[in-house]
Amino acid sequence: MTTEMLWSAGLSAILALVGWVLKGHSDEVQRLQILLNRTREEMARDYVTKTDVQSSINMLIARIDNLDQKIDSLLRSLAK
């Protein structure tokens, strides 16, 4: 074999190895992107936003205030 053939074979082997490593990294990045997207979907499904919590708390406070007013009026009517 000539040195040119050996040099071509060596470069081809190195290039094939670099391509194989890059393909592995590309596949891993794609897998991580899929996992990240699934995590984002699960976070949105399992947790509520601040505005949802705030509106629920406001409704609860309004009902408690309403009950407080009713209890106050009941106590006033019993005191008379």
Q: What DSSP character marks residue 73?
A: H
CA of residue 33 relative to chain centroid, distance: 11
How far from chain centre, in Å, is Cα 1? Answer: 58
Query: Rounded to the nearest 5°, which phi and psi values hold at 47?
Result: -115, 155
- Shortest CA distance to 58 belongs to which of 70, 46, 50, 47? 50
Find the helix or strand (DSSP H, E) in which 9 lies. Answer: helix 3-46
Instruction: Give the residue extent of every domain in the chain.
Output: 1-47, 49-80
pLDDT tens digits, residue range 39-72? 888 877 778 889 999 999 999 999 999 999 999 9
pLDDT tens-digit readout, 13-38: 999 999 999 999 999 999 999 999 99
